[in-house]
Structure 1
């Protein structure tokens, strides 16, 4: 009996054809009542890059994808417990955090913010990691 469910499995050679990769991963894992999302970026769920040069548009895409994936796993944004936000420039902090704050208004997750030198694709300006819970049935 599996202890977890993998949601939207894929291989990195499909998502990153310009790189020499061959890793089997997935968009989300449901383990017990916890949902772990793959880092959400400017790449939409069909593999298109959204918002090139616009950190707020990339954050909107990331949160829209996160909302869909959490629902597929049996949770939703109101059950987000932890986020980690990666940005490639300190100047992106305000536009990215404003968007994420709008999507998570009233949720109060713990949050970590990190400025990094780069992400998986040069077009990515931000990435967000999300962990959420699935509420117990009444």
Structure 2
């Protein structure tokens, strides 16, 4: 059997203007590009509101995972980039809201800025397309 290596495609992909694939499927793994609070029209959702940005970021993750034949229950690794580590307690709460045990492996780091200055959080994930 030949390994599957293909990009994940989205209609109205908000990352297309930046020449970024939403993600790639390699075998039964999905590697998502960093997702942030970007609306379908390319605008930033929730400027100045971390909670709104986090919710939109997870909605975008769910959309890309679905396009790749997966969902949040199959996420095995998460990398979270925060512009302010004071928001870390909200990340802990989000883990409980969006994931279930056994929880994905995780790395959280504070960065000086993200691709667009109004963004407060960016998350990339690795997921499987098989049952966990």
TM-score category, normalised to shorter length: 0.7 to 0.9
8 Å Cα contact 2:32/2:126 also seen in 1: yes
In the TM superposition, residue 66 of structure 1 has moved relative to its aligned partner by: 0.7
Determine the structure 2 residue equivalent to 1:103: 98
Residue 11 and residue 45 in structure 1: after superposition, are their counterparts in 2 closer, same or farther (change >3 A)? closer
Determine the structure 2 residue equivalent to 1:66: 61
The alignment status of 1:14 with 2:17, answered yes or no, reads yes
Segments of 4+ moved more than 6 angstroms: 9-13
Give the TM-score normalised by structure 2: 0.85
C-alpha root-mean-square deviation of aligned residues, in Å? 2.3
In 1, Cα distance between equivalents of 2:92 and 2:114: 18
Determine the structure 2 residue equivalent to 1:5: 6
Give the TM-score normalised by structure 1: 0.81
In 2, Cα distance between equivalents of 1:46 and 1:7: 19
- Point out where structure 2 has 5 or more consecutive residues left out of the alignment: none
Matches within 5 A, 1:1-138: 3-8=4-9, 14-15=17-18, 24-135=19-130
Count of aligned pairs:
128
